[in-house]
Chain A
Amino acid sequence: MSVLTPSTIDEVLAHLAERPEALLLSGGTDVMVEINMAHRKAPAEVVALRRVEQLRLWRHNPSSEGTGGTVTIGSGLPYAEMEHGPLAELFPALAEAARTVGSPQIRAAGTLGGNLGTCSPAGDGLPVLFALDAIVHLRSIGGQRDVPVADFMVGVKQNVLEPGELVTGVTMPIRHGWQGYSKVGVRNAMVIATASACLAMDRDRGAVTLALGAVGTTIIRCRDAEGWLAGELDLSAEPLDISDAVAQEFGRRAAADARPIDDHRSTAAYRGHAVGVLSSRLLRRAAA
């Protein structure tokens, strides 16, 4: 076994070109559990990313068209940096999701790069990336690919990452309008989602996006509920006026888009019900 600790993206890509099967190690909060519990055969080669400062940065990309522009977040930025401060103000939904991950110790280490690498349907970063139409940036020695997150995640713990590729970061548009993330689990701290949902208003386009976690093989975007709501109401208005009937119907449509299963954490019936309740509550919060 060998462990490499490069300090630039170019060095990482050079290592990966020589050893395409090497295991990337970011915060280690998924990888080390598997190694400690011997669920994962010890990797022959590890490329550790903790020294790569470039991956821990984020930047605002202003736009020429008078919209809010976009933000690019490095794959190695720990969740702790998303919970408060300027990034939390730009993406309140990401801040809310980050705050629900594990515990402070997990959030000090865990990253979006790792959440995307693992690609669990219960990953808390992923519904936010789906609701905000994030672009995932992939690099290898051969070049760069930019993949919409909905095309990046293709199944339970499955993504389109090729050997030799590194997720360098994600880019998301800054939107006008309320956004938030909700999650249910068996308790408040240190819990993997039983069901989760991210809702983001887009006042400039008069639209809403809703993404569901832990109720399908991938994160699910609720196109039906989104389109229905935009047809019912003027979503560029502020404040929004959401009646109980509209909130309920929105939740019902969201639940109908879910494809939950029974497993050791919960039942399909509970998950479907919960995700509908979360969706209509999020909509009520958007109008409050």
Chain B
Amino acid sequence: MTQEPIGSPEIYRLQVNGESHDVQDAWLGESLLYVLRERLGLPGSKGACEQGECGSCTVLLDGAAVCACLVMAASATDADIVTVEGLAPDAALTDVQAAFLDEGAVQCGFCTPGLIVAVHHLLEHNPEPSTLETREALSGNICRCTGYGRIFAAVDAVVASRADQAAR
């Protein structure tokens, strides 16, 4: 029993940030990054290199932090996709986003959405990472402005404030 292929110009459906989105009349070789930005109106994920090098397109795909530019969107029809827009409801800031602002971890901001997703992913799996673990976890996210010091300071601030809240 073989399933009918998705073939253009048919519709396929993606689950993004808990909502179902139809993608219509799209070329099926398009990356998830392109589909998110150009077809679904979700421009939070940034595209800089489109070859997996910079991490500015990082999204969660079934809970794994991956480069959206390396996901063929039409192959991810069953996946649970979370973008930077989906981390907090109604355009509120997450604690990680607030810490990036407070610590001055944003300059041009191009790398920021990918880093925010990567930091959420890191702290979900490892709430108190060592310095080395944080550096390793963020090694796929390139920032050409900040020199990373303030980004690591923002991570430390979130770790401290989450630990503080848990202790109360």
Contacts and interface: CB of A to CB of B under 8 A. Distances in A.
B77 A5 contact: yes
Nearest to B76: A50
B70 A32 contact: yes
A108 B72 contact: no
A15 interface: yes
Q: Which of B2, B51, B52, B77 has the most CB of A within 10 A?
A: B52
B72 A33 contact: no
Given A11-B3, A103-B55, A104-B65, A3 B75 contact: yes
Interface in B54-88: 55, 58, 64-67, 69-72, 74-79
B164 interface: no
B17 interface: no
A35 B70 CA distance: 9
B127 interface: no
A108 B65 contact: yes
Contact of A190 (B27, B29, B58, B139): B139
Given A45-B5, A102-B52, A25 B65 contact: no
A29 B70 contact: yes
A78 B51 CA distance: 18
A192 to B, nearest CB: 11
A103 B140 CA distance: 5
B27 A36 contact: no
Interface residues of A, number: 38
B29 A105 contact: no
Classify the secondary structure of A's interface with B: mixed
Interface string A1-33: 111111000010011001000000101110111
Nearest to A38: B29
Nearest to B53: A190
A96 to B, nearest CB: 14
Contacts of B29: 1, 35, 42-43, 46
B2 A32 contact: no
B109 interface: no
A3 B26 CA distance: 12
B6 interface: yes
Contact of B28 (A1, A15, A50, A109): A1
Contacts of B137: 104
Given A1-B27, A2-B28, A46-B28, A103 B139 contact: yes
A11 B2 CA distance: 7
B104 interface: no
B8 interface: yes
A36 B31 contact: yes
A237 interface: no
B115 to A, nearest CB: 12
Given A103-B55, A105-B52, A109-B66, A4 B3 contact: yes
Contacts of A32: 31, 52, 69-72
B37 to A, nearest CB: 13
A286 interface: no
26 contacts: A2-B6, A2-B28, A4-B6, A5-B3, A5-B75, A5-B77, A25-B75, A28-B71, A29-B67, A29-B70, A31-B72, A32-B69, A32-B71, A33-B52, A35-B29, A35-B72, A36-B69, A37-B51, A43-B29, A45-B5, A46-B29, A46-B75, A50-B79, A105-B58, A105-B67, A190-B139
Given A3-B6, A6-B2, A189-B139, 9 more contacts: A1-B27, A5-B75, A25-B75, A37-B50, A46-B72, A104-B136, A104-B139, A105-B58, A105-B118
Interface of A: 1-6, 11, 14-15, 18, 25, 27-29, 31-33, 35-37, 42-43, 45-46, 48, 50-51, 78, 80, 102-106, 108-109, 189-190
